[in-house]
Structure 1
């Protein structure tokens, strides 16, 4: 069965970049797209200079914008299957209700959105949605472009849920990539022991999922253990050096972020990601 991508949009440049990424991925994999928008004060009405009286119209500005966006995608890529939807409500409430496994396979959305004070900010809600959604969320940084996904990083803290994260990703993308098991720690003396544990993790992933091209990357935090700002810096450095295309993160109470480095680290990494981040909720 063809996989279906839920793609929230707010018509900003950041959102449009996520749309471009999603379209390219859909073209490569043969997936369908569902463009979704929640009306905001900015998208529900037309500018005064357009001379339209929206009080007497059932068509909102967003209805026109999403129709134009869909038509522009179809014009460039006639083979892409897509649908559109606009509705009222807060995106942090409506999107998780819509994003269910019986309707969609995963969500793609930008890590930033419109910055108007009176609009809903996709940038400030993507993190929340990644926690609430019942399906995986692929968050796209502002300057990210779709390239062949040949190298993927998994942030690991040796939790069983991480194996399911890899499985969820494989279900969407396939197995044709190199997987880097990435672990950040504070205790320099324990690096050999950590690498041994990651070797066990490699075996589990190979046995139960079938991903065979797996490597290990371990790094340590420099400085005081309380200096949590260094954690995302180390992770981003690993991403850069290893040329990671997508970072896999497991969202659960026992996850790498929630238990070891607290929510603040997840938010810090998420606010300035170098690559798309694939969130799952185990």
Structure 2
């Protein structure tokens, strides 16, 4: 059976960026696309409409238009769609348990341009509950690029499952960088030895030839210094991967990564696609 990607949409620019990315992936892997919209007040009626019971709702027209737009750029794709009266999180959780769907691809945030991922809880809630992988796309045009993958690592066996799931659904990994942040109670040499050993294990067990690693120490005794989320964000910028992989055990950490820093009040936003392995 052909794998189908669920693509939630509220018809915002951010959602369309995710839909375009999903279509590019679907073309490369011969997947299908299923567009999903949950009705909201703004998506039910056009401005000035007087008939709330009109069977042809604004969202029904918008989702058909979105399908047509995507097929113009990707004419060979199989695209289905539905509009649901369920809450988006509930509907996605329901569909993720259906064997007909293999992955969810969605934007980091929805219609509001002023609510990045750490304010709007929908994306993270879906990633936390979904029984299939969730790929989160930044709020900007993002081309399909799998040349360099980064993994937030804490030397856990489930990270191997995350890598294997990514390679199954997205692409083989040519270059992988392991990112690890540690507290100042640990000696850097000991941490680096463990990191190098873990990189070797990944090369052997997953079959990835080129595995790099990078680590950084966090000093908790000085509030003026960077927090763990800031350090990780800086390392991601330094490594500049095509995509970030997140294991189920790291989801809470990933959520903290994109919240504002208490010490510096810095809002860190997702700027790379992030692949969340299923729960």
On whether the aligned pair clears a TM of 0.5, the verdict is: yes
1-structure distance, mates of 2:147, 2:276? 18
Does the CA contact (< 8 Å) of 2:184 and 2:220 recur in 1?
Answer: no
Q: Secondary structure at the match of 1:185?
A: strand
Distance 1:189 1:141, change over 3 A: same
Unaligned runs of 5+ in 1: none
Distance 1:263 1:30, change over 3 A: closer
Does the CA contact (< 8 Å) of 2:135 and 2:273 recur in 1?
Answer: yes
One of 122, 126, 144 as aligned partner of 2:123: 126
Distance 1:203 1:96, change over 3 A: same
Q: Secondary structure at the match of 1:135?
A: coil
Aligned length: 271
1-structure distance, mates of 2:98, 2:152? 24
Distance 1:91 1:224, change over 3 A: farther
Give deviations 1:262-281, integer Å, cap 9, x for gaps. Answer: 95346559961121111114
TM-score, reference length from structure 1: 0.86
Q: Secondary structure at the match of 1:54?
A: coil
| Structure whose residues are more often helix by fraction | 1
CA shift for structure 1 position 93: 1.3
Give deviations 1:156-186, integer Å, cap 9, x for gaps. Answer: 1111111111111111122242111110112
Distance 1:275 1:204, change over 3 A: same
Are residues 1:23 and 2:20 paired?
no
2-structure distance, mates of 1:127, 1:186? 26
Aligned-residue CA RMSD (Å)? 2.8
Describe how 1:193-204 pairs up with structure 2 within 5 A: 193-204=190-201
2:111 matched to which residue of 1?
A: 114
Are residues 1:70 and 2:67 paired?
yes
CA shift for structure 1 position 90: 1.0
Are residues 1:170 and 2:167 paired?
yes
1-structure distance, mates of 2:254, 2:148? 27
One of 199, 216, 223 as aligned partner of 1:219: 216
Distance 1:229 1:130, change over 3 A: farther
Distance 1:26 1:262, change over 3 A: closer
